[in-house]
Amino acid sequence: MKRQTFIVAVMFLLWVNVAYAGSTGSEKLKKSPSSTANECFEGISRTMFSFNQALDAVIFEPIAKGYRVLPMMIRNGTSNVMNNISNLLTIPNNVLQGEFGKAGNTVARFAINTTAGILGFFDPAEKMGFPDNGKEDYGQTLGVWGTGSGCYFVLPILGPTTARDFVGTVANIWGDPWYSMTVSDNPMLAEGLFNESDYYIEKGTSAVDFRAKNIESFDSLEKNSIDLYASIKSLYLQNRNKKITNSDTIVETQDESDWEEIDTN
Residue-wise pLDDT for 205-228, tens only, equals: 999 999 999 999 999 999 999 999
13 vs 133: CA distance, rounded Å: 29
Q: CB count, 10 Å around CB of 170?
A: 17
pLDDT at 151: 94
Q: How far apart are CA 235 and CA 39, in angstroms?
A: 15
Q: Check: CB of residue 88 under 8 Å from CB of residue 113.
A: no
Q: Which amino acid is at 263?
A: D
pTM for this structure?
0.78
State pLDDT tens for residues 110-159.
999 999 999 999 999 999 999 999 999 999 999 999 999 999 999 999 99
Residue 116 C-beta-side C-alpha neighbours within 13 Å? 11
Beta strands in the chain (DSSP E): 152-155, 159-162
Residues 6 or more apart from 3 whose CB is under 8 A from it? none
* CB neighbour list of residue 101: distance below 8 Å, 6 or more residues apart: none
Quote the longest CA-to-CA distance of the chain.
Answer: 54
